[in-house]
Amino acid sequence: MRFFDQVAPCSNCPFKKSAFMGLKPGRREEIANALLHEDKSFSCHKSLSGETDEDTHEYTPGPNDLMCAGAMILMRNERVLLDNRLTRIAIGFGWLEPENLIDTGVYPTVEEFIKGE
């Protein structure tokens, strides 16, 4: 499945310690909660092709979206890839092979990602 084809984070991935994304206050925590507790995906910002609902601000991935490699690496670092239903299914079907993900400076823990330090 193409959605899981990205194996390395882009140069300004918000999950990389070296990137500055200028996320609004609380956004990092929202992202972490969506991945860890709501079985959501997080599309790479460079592949966005979906739509955002005007009322709920919920994003629906489009046909060209790719799962953010940085998000998957952070989940792998925290050993929670199998806790997210979407990534668990992708691993089960062979669409995602966690050992192929290339960590190029992703935050080692969710706590550090949320702090953004």
Assigned token pair, 79:
């050993």
Question: How far apart are the C-alpha atoms of 20 and 2, rounded to whole Å?
Answer: 27
One digit per residue, the tens of pLDDT, for the chain of length 117 reads 699 999 999 988 999 988 777 777 788 999 999 988 888 889 998 998 988 989 988 888 889 999 999 999 999 999 999 999 999 999 999 999 999 999 999 999 999 999 887
Question: How far apart are the C-alpha atoms of 112 and 117, rounded to whole Å?
Answer: 6
- Whether 88 contacts 82, CB under 8 Å: yes
pTM value > 0.85: yes
